[in-house]
């Protein structure tokens, strides 16, 4: 079975939730939605993080064996046949942004536990980042104390733009930023500025970012399919 650390596909969904529905949303997401999604062939793990500063309220992410899993018949069938509870929950989503990503590069180590803290940075660049620049950039960040995996993801615009029954309910779409940096940490970090500064010094070409949207989140829930041979079942 593919390990989570080998995942090359990612779905990331940022959203606020109507305040009066948050507890019900958590129940739905914990008990029905994430298990349902992680049961789809090719899905490895689903996580939900909560923003330290409350904006956006939640970041939901799913890691998959390959980006193609996120446009597979099985996944699209689920997106186009939401359960009654899903239909209810999605009406309480506010300011939603959902993107599908392909992994560009990764560095660092898997933490002992599913990362309790997550630092994100969405950004744009005039030029696509090259491998010779990305590897030392990520490696420099991964050397910081308390940091685990560091990953750079690039949006798959074609798959991110697919219209589904679920999207018609929550009304959101892809974000403006084409790249996503995810930094997993074992303790809270006040900011990623020091790690980014060290990384930019190691790979100056990666400092040419614009339209940056930083985020800091703590883990609420993680579900992982631990059964072997799921994709052959």
Number of domains within the chain: 1
Say if CB 186 and CB 148 are below 8 A apart.
yes
For residues 179 and 176, give the distance between their C-alpha atoms in angstroms, rounded to a whole number. Answer: 9
Task: Give the residue numbers spanning the domain of 130.
Answer: 4-223
Residue 41 lies in a domain: yes
The position carrying tokens 């491998």 is: 131
Report the C-alpha gap between 54 and 217 in whole angstroms: 9
Does residue 184 lie in a domain region?
Answer: yes
**pLDDT for the residue numbered 24:** 98
Indicate the pTM of the whole model: 0.92
Q: What is the DSSP string of 96-109?
A: EEEEEEEEEEEES-
| Residue 196, pLDDT score | 83
Residue 155 lies in a domain: yes
Residues 191, 201, 11, 229, Cα dihedral to 10°: -110
- Residue 228's pLDDT is 41
Largest CA distance in the chain: 51
Residues 71-106: tens digit of each pLDDT:
999 999 999 999 999 999 999 999 999 999 999 999
Tell me, yes or no, whether 49 lies in a domain.
Answer: yes
Domain-embedded: residue 232: no
Q: pLDDT below 50 — which residues of the chain?
A: 228-233
Q: Does residue 25 contact residue 92 with C-beta atoms inside 8 Å?
A: yes
For 49-60, write each residue's pLDDT tens digit.
Answer: 999 987 889 999
CATH of the domain at 156: 3.30.70.100
> 231 lies in a domain?
no
The answer as to whether 44 is a domain residue is yes
pLDDT of residue 55: 80
In a domain, 233, yes or no: no
């Amino acid at each position: 079975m593919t390990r989570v650390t080998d995942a090359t596909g990612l779905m990331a969904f940022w959203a606020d939730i109507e305040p009066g529905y948050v507890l019900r949303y958590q129940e739905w997401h914990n008990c029905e939605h994430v298990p349902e999604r992680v049961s789809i062939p090719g899905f490895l793990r689903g996580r939900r993080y909560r923003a330290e500063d409350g904006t956006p309220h939640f970041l939901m992410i799913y890691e998959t064996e390959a980006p193609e899993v996120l446009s597979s018949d099985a996944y699209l069938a689920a997106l186009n046949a939401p359960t009654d509870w899903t239909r209810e929950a999605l009406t309480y989503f506010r300011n939603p942004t959902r993107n599908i990503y392909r992994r560009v590069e990764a560095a660092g180590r898997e933490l002992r536990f599913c990362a309790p803290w997550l630092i994100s940075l969405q950004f744009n660049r005039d030029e696509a980042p090259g491998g010779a620049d990305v590897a030392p950039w990520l490696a420099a960040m991964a050397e910081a104390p308390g940091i685990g995996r560091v990953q750079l993801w690039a949006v798959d615009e074609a798959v991110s733009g697919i219209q589904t029954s679920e999207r018609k309910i929550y009304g959101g779409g892809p974000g403006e930023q084409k790249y996503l940096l995810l930094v997993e940490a074992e303790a809270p970090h006040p900011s990623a500025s020091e790690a980014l500064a060290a990384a930019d010094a190691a790979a100056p070409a990666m400092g040419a970012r614009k339209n940056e949207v930083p985020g800091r989140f703590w883990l609420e829930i993680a579900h992982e399919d631990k059964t072997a041979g799921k994709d052959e079942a």
